Amino acid sequence: MSSTTHAIHYEKKHLPASAGTLGWGVLIAGLAVAGASFAMDPMRAKYSSIMLFMFLAGVGICSLFMVSIEYLAGAVWSTPLRRVFEILASSLLFLPLFALPILPFMQELYLWTHKTDDILARKAAYLNQPFFLIRLALILGIWILFYKLFTGRSYKQDETRDQDLTRKNVKLSAVFIPVFGISITALSIDFLMSLEPHWFSTMFGVNFFAGSLVAALGVITITVILLNENGYLVKGIIGDHYYSLGFGMFAGCVFWTYTAFSQGMLIWYANLPEETPWFLNRWEGSWKVITIALLLVHFIGPLFGLIQRKNKRNPSRMIFMAAWVIFAHVLDLYWIVVPVFQPEGPSLRLTEFGFIAIAIGFLIVLVTQQAKKKNLVAVGDPKLQRGLAFRL
């Protein structure tokens, strides 16, 4: 409470050049490995592109989701961190690039593009390539539009300190949330669920949203803590702010488990032949190990790692748990995508690590590049002081 009386001292400091170099290095190494695998192990590279695209799409759009729910809920704890959400949401601008490697190989990746039967014929009105591309363009276009609108006003506010911009963004958030819900569901159905076009689950979209939110919060947490502990953000961001991020990750993991379990248990109970194969494929052979590992990594680990308040306020433990939940989301994507192409069992090659390196390098480059031009704290936001005074 006492800090409300203090003035905000934000001085823009430039990130060390080594961070950018590291990012470019990791990104280029990843691209080299991925490029080589397109030549040597093309199938693996192709389905890994789906995972990379969906991971970055989830992180980008859920970062924007965090921005919009801050406006919508009038949250103050996240205001000092919001610029980090906005910087990570700028990965939406590059999503078309990451979608590109998938499109030429749709015939190989998606069964519904080249085969038909009674079921697929009925789904053909939705699952056909022209409509798929229209939907993709529409979804990415809408996301980029919303990103531009939200962050444009936010950056403008740094200069003008105009409170009306916040009000406009609150109204925009009310429009964005339903659009977000529909678009992320559609994207997850298009790219992930239609890998096995005979199968369907109404829980799939919300499950992907929960996993993506957890991953986005993980990336946000690591970025915020690294920036803040090294003094690049404003003074006054403390363990209580980390606590709130950890709280989000904890809630996200439990929500993911809830949706995943609802999906699994209802299909298990009903035992219908058109629904069960998806789970049976993942419950056979060595995929069973991955399924059980997913439960432990995505639920049990975060449950006990994040339940204690002192862990959520401790920067190094939070970085560890953030990395953990990001890994959990990657494992979730792997568990959804790879069994389609490798029903015999999971296997790891350099390819997967190359694609992981692309994601890591891309996010580092994104943050360093954006940090060159922009303030790392929304200094013009009217809620900033209250946000810094936030205590549990």
Partner 1 sequence: MSKKAKNNAMSENKESQKLFALTGLFDTPDEIMHAASAASKKYRKYDVHTPYPVHGMDDAMGLGESPIGWCTLLIGTSCMLMMLGFIAWVSLVDYPLVWAGKPYFSLPGYIPILFEVTVLTGAVSTVLILFFIVSGFPNNNHPLHDTPYMQRTSDDKFGLCLEAADPNFNEADAKGLLEKMGAKNIQPVYYEKAEADAGLSLTHPAFVSFLAFVIVGVSGAAYFGLNRMVFMVPFNYMSVQGRAVAQEKNNIFKDGRSMQKPVAGTVARGLLPYPFKLDDQIKAQAEAGKYLSNPLPRTEAVFELGKTQFDSKCSACHGYYGEGDSRLNGKFPAPPTLHSKKVSEWTDANIYHVITEGQNVMPSYAKQLTRDERWAVVHYIRALQRSLKPKETDLQ
Q: How far is the CB of 391 from partner 1 (least distance, A)?
A: 3
Q: How far is the CB of 309 from partner 1 (least distance, A)?
A: 7
Cβ distance to partner 1 smaller for residue 32 or 265: 265
Amino acid at 183: S
Cβ distance to partner 1 smaller for residue 18 or 308: 308
Amino acid at 11: E
Amino acid at 32: A
- Asked if 386 and 44 touch (Cβ cutoff 8 Å), the reply is no
Distance from C-alpha of 40 to C-alpha of 100, rounded to nearest angstrom? 19
Cβ distance to partner 1 smaller for residue 268 or 320: 268
Q: How far is the CB of 284 from partner 1 (least distance, A)?
A: 17
Q: How far is the CB of 321 from partner 1 (least distance, A)?
A: 18
Which of these, 127, 248, 120, 261, lies nearest to 203 by C-alpha position? 261
238-269: b (≥16 Cβ within 10 Å) or e:
ebebbbbbbbbbbbbbbbbbebbeebbeebee
Tokens (6 digits) for 37:
């695998």
Q: How far is the CB of 298 from partner 1 (least distance, A)?
A: 15
- Asked if 82 and 63 touch (Cβ cutoff 8 Å), the reply is no
Q: How far is the CB of 357 from partner 1 (least distance, A)?
A: 37
Cβ distance to partner 1 smaller for residue 2 or 316: 2
- List of residues contacting partner 1 (CB under 8 A): 1-2, 240, 261, 264-265, 268-269, 271, 308-310, 390-392
How many alpha carbons fall within 13 Å on the CB side of residue 135?
Answer: 19
